[in-house]
Structure 1
Amino acid sequence: MEAMTASGIDYTIFFYNPNIHPEHEYILRKEENIRFAEKHHIPFIDADYDRDNWFERAKGMEWEPERGARCTMCFDMRFERTALYAHEHGFPVMTSSLGISRWKDMKQINGCGERATAPYEDVSYWDFNWRKKGGSARMLDISKREKFYKQEYCGCAYSLRDTNTHRRSRGRPAIELGKEFYGYEEAHEDKK
């Protein structure tokens, strides 16, 4: 949001994440977005939790690896919906913060965004590199300051399954949804 403000972009948060599973996780993530939007007076659009459609589209891709065809399908679905909304409501540009994560392929994300906006002459995709100039470190600083919920997997049921499998193979416990928040570990360290 700082980068968009610095670039003169007036923005709105469009929350469309039918991939997030289970519903408890979806609600946690949505509420964090709403809390931040309200605190900073940012317009917030809550799109449908279209999970049945997402699972239908994911059929046959349940075992695709992270950054594979399932992720492309997921980005395409979400960006297509965003581009349509932007077109129908007069938003000339759209972007996504997905690229801030080192776990994501920026070329894959940007390709999906560009494909989604291609049918609309009045909407373009801003392919800003969120990782440059300390973007990832800035994201962590903001997450700690805001005490954001710590998302320990991408969001979909298959990412949760695969992340937990990896954690168990390393002797770590499974993810406990709704338990980890940024900033709280530092507060506990300071009290020691």
Structure 2
Amino acid sequence: MRKLLLHVCCAPCLIVPFSEFSKEFDITLFFYNPNIHPIKEYKERLKTLREYSKTLNVPLIIGEYNYKSYFFNVSYPYRFKERCIFCYQIRMNETGRMATKVGFQFFSTTLLYSPYQEHDKLVRIAEFVAKEYNLTFIYKDFRNRYREGVERSKELSMYRQKYCGCIFSEFERYGGKLVR
């Protein structure tokens, strides 16, 4: 069976993509999300993913939590307005690098599941990364199954976060609006 490195943002977002991708691929999960803050949030998401990956009996690679580099790079004023794009770039680039390192030809991401992501921009970035690393990006639009995944994650009593992970997103959700 073909091997797929699947970038995972969190366990709840893995449910639907895993159910589909596992029909065609032998999957290894890759958790690389230096955007997730604070550290307590990062640890909670990782803990939930570790538990869920064990129930799925699927390997999990944990990337470096390079939060200092993330903040340094996203804090530039010219980059701040496009911080989501930058965030996709660093996560997809690291996924491509890791896929090459572990000898996989295919990669994808659970970010395709969320209706709250900038889907078209994410896909363009992932396709660019695929060309750079001579890989194949596997695209599937899971947004129409978002509610299904939410309900299943609740049935499984998974930790469910209320923002994408970056501190700026949390502020926008709970404290006000930032200028983009």
Give the deviation of 1:9 after TM superposition: 1.0
Greater shift, 31-40 or 139-148, is seen at 139-148
Instruction: Look up the match of 2:127.
Output: 114
Q: Note if 1:27 corresponds to 2:40.
A: no
- Higher RCO, 1 vs 2 (CA within 8 Å, ≥6 residues apart): 2
Greater shift, 43-52 or 109-118, is seen at 109-118
- Computing the radius of gyration over CA atoms, which structure comes out larger, 1 or 2? 1
SS in 1 for 2:65: coil
Instruction: Look up the match of 2:115.
Output: 102
Q: Note if 1:128 corresponds to 2:140.
A: yes
Amino acid at match of 2:138: W
Greater shift, 136-145 or 155-164, is seen at 136-145
- 2:139 & 2:173 partners in 1: Cα distance? 28
Instruction: Look up the match of 1:158.
Output: 168
- 2:41 & 2:77 partners in 1: Cα distance? 21
Conservation of the 8 A alpha-carbon contact between 1:62 and 1:158 = no
Instruction: Look up the match of 1:82.
Output: 95
- 2:78 & 2:166 partners in 1: Cα distance? 10
Unaligned runs of 5+ in 2: 1-17
- 2:69 & 2:76 partners in 1: Cα distance? 14
Give the deviation of 1:141 after TM superposition: 2.4
With over 3 angstroms needed to count, the CA separation of the structure-2 counterparts of 1:145 and 1:90, relative to structure 1, is same
Give the deviation of 1:48 after TM superposition: 0.7
- 1:124 & 1:147 partners in 2: Cα distance? 34
Q: Residues 107-154 of structure 1: CA distance to partner in whole angstroms, max 9, x if unpaired?
A: 011112112221122x1111111124xx11221122112111111011
Q: Residues 35-66 of structure 1: CA distance to partner in whole angstroms, max 9, x if unpaired?
A: 000111010001110000100110225995xx
4+ long deviations beyond 2 Å:
60-64
**TM-score for both structures, normalised by structure 1:** 0.78
Q: Note if 1:148 corresponds to 2:165.
A: no
Give percent identity, aligned residues only. Answer: 25
Give the deviation of 1:166 after TM superposition: 4.0
- 2:172 & 2:76 partners in 1: Cα distance? 16
> Which of 5, 9, 32 pairs up with 1:16?
32
Number of matched pairs? 160
With over 3 angstroms needed to count, the CA separation of the structure-2 counterparts of 1:9 and 1:92, relative to structure 1, is same
Q: Residues 52-83 of structure 1: CA distance to partner in whole angstroms, max 9, x if unpaired?
A: 0100110225995xxx5100100100110110
- 1:77 & 1:63 partners in 2: Cα distance? 13
Instruction: Look up the match of 1:44.
Output: 60
Aligned-residue CA RMSD in angstroms? 1.8
Give the deviation of 1:156 after TM superposition: 0.6
- 1:165 & 1:63 partners in 2: Cα distance? 21
